[in-house]
Amino acid sequence: MFKLGRQIFCSAERNAFLAKKIIASFSEKTAEEAAKKKVDQKNKDFQTVYRIIHPEKKGFILAAVTSAISSGIFMLYPKLIPQLSDLYANKYEKIEESDSDEQKLNKQKNNQNTNNAYLKFFLTWGLVCGVSGFFNFSRRYINGDLGNRISIRLRQAIYNDLMTKDSTFYFNKSVNTAKIIHKLSNDVSQVSQSVSMDLFIAFRGALFITGGTGFLLFQSPQLILPSLFVMAGLSVSSRFFGNYQRHYKKEEAYDLTKTSEQAQEALQNIKLIKISNTEIKEQIDYQSTLARFYNSSKKVQYWTGMNFGFLEGFGLYSLIGILGYGSFLISSGLATPELLSSSMYAFYVGLGVRSIVNTYTELKKTTGLYDGIVSVIGTDVTQSQTYNNPKLIEEGQEYLKLQRNNAEFYQQLYSNNTATLHQSKPPHITLKNITFKYDEYGTERQLLSDLNIEIESGSVVALVGPSGCGKTTVLNLLTKLYQPTSGDILFDGQSLQAKDSKWVQQNVSYVTQEPMIFQDTVYYNIIYGNQGFDTSQEKVIEAAKMANAHDFIMSLPEGYQTKLSERGQDLSGGQRQRLILARAILKDPKILILDEGTANLDSESEKAIIQDLKTISKNRTCIIVTHKIENFLGFVNKIIELKAPINSENKLQQEKSEDEKAN
C-alpha cells in the first residue's frame, strides 16, 4: 500500500514537472513570437517610411545637407562662453593727464586692442548668425516644400486609384465615402508633414549626439558620465510619455474622422432633416461627437504637455547640474574654464537622444495613419506608377498653365479626337445565362441566376419588377459597371467583355434616377462625358432643344454659361432631368438607358419627359427601368418582368409583348 502511494505521488510529481516544462516552453515560444512580431512591425514601419520618401529622395538629400550645415553652425554657439569671458577680461583704461607719454601710449594700444576684439567678436558672430539664418530658412523651406510634394503625390495617387477602381468597390456597403474624403484631406496632411519634418528632427538629433559627444571626448571627457545620465533620463521619459501620446492620438484621429462622417452625412440628407424637423437632434448629436473628439484631444494635449514639461524641468535641471559640476571641477583645479562651454554639449547630447525617441514615436503614429488609408481604399499607393512618377508635380503645373491660358487644348488632353468606336446603328442585345453574385458584409449573395433576355435592335424595352429583383443590376451589367459571375452579354453577337470602356462611353448613355449635376456651368454639365464628340455650342443647343431644355436654359441669368449650385439645387426636378437628357443625347448614342428617370418628378413633368423620350428614342435601342409601367404602355415595344425569389428553378424574366400585357 505504501509502495503504491509512493508510485502515485512520484507519478503526480513527474506530471506536474512536465506540465510546468510545457507551460514554460509555451511561454518562451509566445515571447519569441511576440518579439519577432515586434521586430517585423518595426521593419514594416521603416519600409513604409522609405517608400513614402523615395520619389523625393533628391529633395531629402538636399534637406539633409542644409540640416547638417545648420546643425553644425548650432554646435558653435557654446564657444560664446569662453569668448565672452575673454571679452570681459579686456578692460578699457582711462587716460589721465598725469600719465606719462609711455603710459598714454600703452593705454591707447590696450583700448585699441579691446575695440578690435569687440569688433572681431561682433563681425564673426554676425557672419555666423547670418549664415545660420540662411541655412535655417533653407532647411525649413525645403522641408515644407517636401511635405507639400509628398501630400500632392499621395492625394493624386489615391485619387487616381479611386477613379480607376472597379465600380463594385463603391457599391460595397462597407465603403464610407466620408471616411475616404477625411483620409484624403486630414490624414494625408499629417503623414506628409510628419515624414518631412520629423525625420529631419531625428537627423538633427543624431548630429547633436555625434557632435556633442565628439566635443566632450576631445575637450572635457569628465562630462561624459553626466551626459549619459541626461541621455538615459530623457530617453526613458520620452518613451514613457510617448506611449500615452501615441495611444490617445489614435483615439483622437478616430474621433475626428467621425466628425467628418457625421457632417457629410447630415449635409447629404439635409432635405430629410428639414422635412423631419430634426435639426436640433442633429445639432445635439454633432455637439456630442465634437465633445468626444475634444475629450480625446484633451488627453493628447495633457500627455504632450507632460512630455514637454518634463523635458523643460529635467532638461534645465540637468543643465544646471552639469554647469555646477563643471564649476566644481574648475574650482578644484581639475579643469579649465572652457569646461563650462563643454557642458552645453552635454545638454545637446541629451536633446539629441530625446529628438530621436520622439521622432520614432511620431513615425509609428504616421505609419499607423498610412496603414489606415490603405485599409480604407484597399491599395498601397506608394507602390503605384502615379506616386513614383518623377515628373508628377511638374506635369500638374503644366496642366494648370494650359487650363488658365489654353482651355481648348487643355480639354483635348482627355478627349478622344474622333469617336472611332461609335456605332452607326442600334445593336441587338443578348443576355445569355447571366448569373450575378456579390459580397455583402462577408456573405455571398446571389441576385441573378441563369438570366436570359433578348432585346431587338432599335426597340424600346421596359424592365419591371419589385425592388431588389435586380433591375438596376442588369443595367450595371450592360454598362460594364458590374461583371457577371457567369454567362455572357452580346452586342450584335460580340461579347461585351471584349469591348473596352471607350466603347461603352461612345455608344451608351445612362440616365440615373438621381440627376448627377456638377457645380459648374450648364454648358459644362451637358458636354460632360461626351469627350471625342462634337461639343460645339451649336450641337449643345441642338441636344438641349431635343430634350426640351433650351427654353428654360435661356431664361437663366447667363444662359448656357450660368453656374449651377451644388447638385443643381437651383433647378426644378424636371429641369434637372431635361439637362441630363441633353447630356445623354449629345453624342447620339445608339443605346439609351434610363433608370427610374422620371420617378422623382410630378405627374405633369413626367408626362412631358415621356413625350420627349418618344422622339429621343428613335433609331436607338432604349432600355427603361420603371415602377410606373402604365405611363409607358403606348411607348415601349416589350416589357421584361424580373421576379423574386431568385433561384435556378424559377427563372427571373417573363417576356411579354405590349399586346400580351394589354390583354
pLDDT tens track for 180-215 = 887 877 888 888 888 888 888 888 888 888 887 777
User: What's the rounded Cα separation, in Å, for the pair 499 and 507?
Assistant: 11
* Residue 219 and residue 365 share a domain: yes
* Residue 437 and residue 370 share a domain: no
Cell of 469: 429583383
* Residue 115 and residue 245 share a domain: yes
Tell me how long the chain is. Answer: 663
pLDDT beyond 70 at 365: yes
* Residue 436 and residue 318 share a domain: no
**Contact yes or no for 453/654 (Cβ under 8 A):** no
Asked, for residue 417, whether it belongs to a domain, the answer is no
* Residue 433 and residue 379 share a domain: no
pLDDT beyond 50 at 663: no
Asked, for residue 413, whether it belongs to a domain, the answer is no
* Residue 368 and residue 435 share a domain: no
Of 383, 417, 448, the residue at which a domain comes to its end is 383
pLDDT beyond 80 at 524: yes
- pLDDT tens digits, residue range 455-498? 888 888 888 888 778 888 888 888 888 888 888 988 888 888 88
CA angle 58–64–67, rounded 5-degree value: 145
In terms of Cα–Cα distance, which of 632, 640, 621 is closest to 474? 640
Mean pLDDT of the 584-605 span: 78
* pLDDT > 90 fraction of the chain, expressed in percent and rounded: 0
The backbone torsions φ and ψ at residue 438, rounded to the nearest 5 degrees and listed phi first, read -145, 160
SS3 content of the chain, % helix, strand, coil (to 5): 70, 10, 25
Of 324, 356, 383, the residue at which a domain comes to its end is 383
- pLDDT tens digits, residue range 338-364? 666 666 777 777 777 777 777 777 777
Q: What is the CATH number of the domain that holds 166?
A: 1.20.1560.10
Mean pLDDT of the 517-525 span: 86
- pLDDT tens digits, residue range 396-419? 887 777 767 766 665 665 555 445
Asked, for residue 402, whether it belongs to a domain, the answer is no
The neighbour count for residue 210, using CB atoms within 10 Å, is 14
Higher pLDDT, 657 or 563: 563
Cell of 186: 486630414
Asked, for residue 540, whether it belongs to a domain, the answer is yes
Asked, for residue 284, whether it belongs to a domain, the answer is yes
* Residue 486 and residue 375 share a domain: no
Element (H, E) at 173: none
pLDDT at 9: 46
pLDDT beyond 60 at 652: no
Q: What is the CATH number of the domain that holds 628?
A: 3.40.50.300
* Residue 551 and residue 493 share a domain: yes
In terms of Cα–Cα distance, which of 253, 250, 204, 258 is closest to 361? 250
- The alpha carbon of residue 64 and the mean position of all alpha carbons in its chain are separated, in whole angstroms, by 26
- The alpha carbon of residue 305 and the mean position of all alpha carbons in its chain are separated, in whole angstroms, by 28
pLDDT beyond 50 at 150: yes
pLDDT at 326: 67
Asked, for residue 104, whether it belongs to a domain, the answer is no
Task: Return the residue matching grid coordinates 430634426.
Answer: 278
* Residue 244 and residue 338 share a domain: yes
pLDDT at 465: 82
* Residue 75 and residue 151 share a domain: yes
- On average, the pLDDT of the chain sits at 77
pLDDT at 644: 64
* pLDDT > 70 fraction of the chain, expressed in percent and rounded: 77
* Residue 633 and residue 504 share a domain: yes
| pLDDT confidence tier of residue 113, bands split at 50, 70 and 90 | confident
Tell me how many domains the chain contains.
Answer: 2
Cell of 641: 418582368
What does DSSP assign to residue 221? G
User: What's the rounded Cα separation, in Å, for the pair 64 and 351?
Assistant: 19
**Contact yes or no for 348/75 (Cβ under 8 A):** yes
What does DSSP assign to residue 652? S
The per-type count for the chain, helices as H runs and strands as E runs, is: 21, 10
* Orientation of helix 188-219 relative to helix 339-377, angle to 10°: 160
pLDDT at 38: 59
Q: Which residues face 454 on adjacent strands?
A: 430
Asked, for residue 105, whether it belongs to a domain, the answer is no
Asked, for residue 493, whether it belongs to a domain, the answer is yes
Could you tell me the residue range of the domain that residue 475 belongs to?
429-662
pLDDT beyond 50 at 657: no
pLDDT at 518: 83
pLDDT at 659: 42
User: What's the rounded Cα separation, in Å, for the pair 212 and 2?
Assistant: 75
Of 383, 403, 420, the residue at which a domain comes to its end is 383
CA angle 536–539–540, rounded 5-degree value: 85
* Residue 453 and residue 346 share a domain: no
pLDDT at 290: 76
Task: Return the residue matching grid coordinates 431587338.
Answer: 456
pLDDT at 447: 81
